[in-house]
Amino acid sequence: MDPVLITALLFGSMFLCLAIGVPIAIALGGLTVAMIYGFWSPNALTMLPIKAFSSASSFEFLGIPLFIFMAAMLQRSKIADDLYDSMYRFFGGVRGGLAIGTVAICTLFAAMAGISGAATISMGLLAIPAMLARNYQKGIALGCVAAGGSLGILIPPSVTMIIYGLIANTSVGKLYAGGVLPGLLIALLFCVYIYVRGVIQPEVVGSTLERFTWREKLAAVKGLVLPILLVVTVLGSMLGGYASVSEAAAVGSFGSLIAAAVRRQLNWTTVREACEETILLSCLIFWIIIGASALSTFYTAMGATRLIESMILGLEVNRYIILAGMQLILLLLGMVLDTVGIIMITVPVFVPIALKLGFDPVWFGILFIINMEIGFLTPPFGYNLFYLKGVVPPSITLGDIYRSVTPFILLMIAAVGICMLFPQIVLVLPNALF
């Protein structure tokens, strides 16, 4: 059968089914079955249960529920309360300090949690009311939490990177190492932006500055001990090569229980809620992976991958233009589609092209992840927007949230540009560690 026709049919029907709102896992799963049966061979369908089982029972994927549980438990341990208190004493005297401190906490949280929800929800509950009470403009207060929270998938550990790494066949450890500096760069850009806005337009960051003595600041360091210990154990064991990603996730999951116990929040209700939240989010992720697991084999076998590859490589334009084009597609998909769906659909096509063009797989992976991070913030479909809407006071509309993230999205796009110009920002750590 003609690969051009199959490619058009495959992507056309996929687009249609997803656009009318069929659940992603079901749309991808059903279409794969129909396409394999119709255009390849009914026998090829036997790979479906094999792939479903091997994805669901893979030790490498174990990190996904365990890191999600860690985040869910940390969120319930109210560790963020201590962090917020310490941050307030350190940054209270700086213009825009509460917002800058919020970004700092989100960065630290991102180094403990592999998803964006935990930091976004915790800081949405704590920091936004505090900032609004001190006359911060809505745009800054909402934007810094939504954008800061999205760092969770870029700064290791990261659930999204586990999925990307296994689908793209790139080392998850190297991706983790590669995400550290770009994550810090983005956090720094956010802080500089908030500070500069505060200097130019003092009214957007409220009026009251509260300074604390050094004694008070030192006393607040206590709140940082537990989180930093967790970061060091989880990231240290993983990046130091002592534990695999899944093992580090188990240590983190265990550590989050201890953290909750230390904070006196370990009880039946919090554990049960965290367990339930974890299974719902994990199944959402895994069933998309299962639904789409045979998709890439199908389009490789039918020659669709090679067709797209030769079409794009045949364009004979500068490779950076192709790279920019791929990222544009990712950004557009990020507005409407879930991250796991985007990875399952685009990675089998994009990664071979990127490799053929001579790009480093880890570097490309990090650019991909930053684009996904932006996808968490771009309306209409952006997880962080929904998380935030769920916890902010009712006077704040979804429109307020949409508007608040715009400058932060532009900063992240700038960060993508910086990482493209200076690939060493991404590559220096993975090259040094592995």
Partner 1 sequence: MKLTTSRRAAAHERWLFSAMKVTMLERLIGWIDTAVAAIGKGASFLTLLMTALIVLEMVSRSFFGTSWGWVYDLSGWLLAAYIFLGGAWTLQRGQFVRVDILFTRFSPRTRALVDLVAGTALFVLFAGALLWLGTRFAWQSFLMNEVSATGAWDAPVYVAKALLPIGVVLLCLAWLSHILKLWRNGLRSPE
**230 contributes a contact to partner 1 by CB under 8 A:** no
**74 contributes a contact to partner 1 by CB under 8 A:** no
Give one word for 58, left, alpha or beta, with left for phi > 0 and alpha for psi -120 to 50: beta
**120 contributes a contact to partner 1 by CB under 8 A:** no
d(CA 106, CA 124): 11
Q: Of residues 1, 34, 311, 332, which one binds partner 1 by CB under 8 A?
A: 34
Q: Of residues 6, 10, 24, 369, which one binds partner 1 by CB under 8 A?
A: 24
Number of residues lying near partner 1 (CB under 8 A): 64
User: Which 47-66 residues touch partner 1, going by CB under 8 A?
Assistant: 48-50, 52-53, 56-59, 61-62, 65-66
CB of 347 to partner 1, least distance (A): 18
d(CA 208, CA 230): 34
d(CA 163, CA 42): 28
CB of 286 to partner 1, least distance (A): 4
Q: Tell me the backbone φ, ψ of residue 22, rounded to 5 degrees.
A: -70, 135
Span of 31-39, 103-111, 193-201, 345-353 interacting with partner 1 by CB under 8 A: 31-39
User: Which 376-405 residues touch partner 1, going by CB under 8 A?
Assistant: 380-381
**127 contributes a contact to partner 1 by CB under 8 A:** no
**32 contributes a contact to partner 1 by CB under 8 A:** yes
Closer to partner 1 by CB, 278 or 346: give it: 278
**313 contributes a contact to partner 1 by CB under 8 A:** no
**332 contributes a contact to partner 1 by CB under 8 A:** no
d(CA 96, CA 101): 9
Q: What is the DSSP string of 310-337?
A: HHHHTT---HHHHHHHHHHHHHHHHHHS
**29 contributes a contact to partner 1 by CB under 8 A:** yes
**Look-up of token digits 């990307």:** 164
**239 contributes a contact to partner 1 by CB under 8 A:** no
d(CA 330, CA 352): 16
Show the DSSP H helices in 293-397 as ranges: 295-301, 304-313, 319-336, 339-356, 361-375, 383-391
* Angle between the N-to-C axes of helices 63-76 and 268-292, in degrees from 0 to 180, rounded to the nearest 10: 150
d(CA 16, CA 30): 13
**162 contributes a contact to partner 1 by CB under 8 A:** no
Report yes or no: 257 and 266 within 8 Å, Cβ to Cβ.
Answer: yes
**166 contributes a contact to partner 1 by CB under 8 A:** no
**Look-up of token digits 């997803």:** 18
Span of 76-84, 245-253, 299-307, 393-401 interacting with partner 1 by CB under 8 A: 245-253
* Per-residue x/- track, 251-290, partner 1 (CB under 8 A): x-xx--x-------------xx--xx-xxxxxxx-xxx-x
**75 contributes a contact to partner 1 by CB under 8 A:** no
Closer to partner 1 by CB, 266 or 312: give it: 266
CB of 403 to partner 1, least distance (A): 19
Report yes or no: 403 and 396 within 8 Å, Cβ to Cβ.
Answer: no
Closer to partner 1 by CB, 158 or 293: give it: 293
**114 contributes a contact to partner 1 by CB under 8 A:** no
Closer to partner 1 by CB, 26 or 321: give it: 26
CB of 34 to partner 1, least distance (A): 5
Look up residue 34 and give its two tokens.
């129909």
**Look-up of token digits 């060493």:** 424
Closer to partner 1 by CB, 25 or 177: give it: 25
Q: What is the DSSP string of 133-193?
A: HTTB-HHHHHHHHHHHHGGGGTSSS-HHHHHHHHHHT--HHHHHHHHHHHHHHHHHHHHHH
**298 contributes a contact to partner 1 by CB under 8 A:** no
Strand partners, 363: none
> Which residues in this chain contact partner 1 in the complex, by CB under 8 A?
17-27, 29-34, 37, 45-46, 48-50, 52-53, 56-59, 61-62, 65-66, 69, 243, 246-247, 250-251, 253-254, 257, 271-272, 275-276, 278-284, 286-288, 290-291, 336-338, 341, 380-381
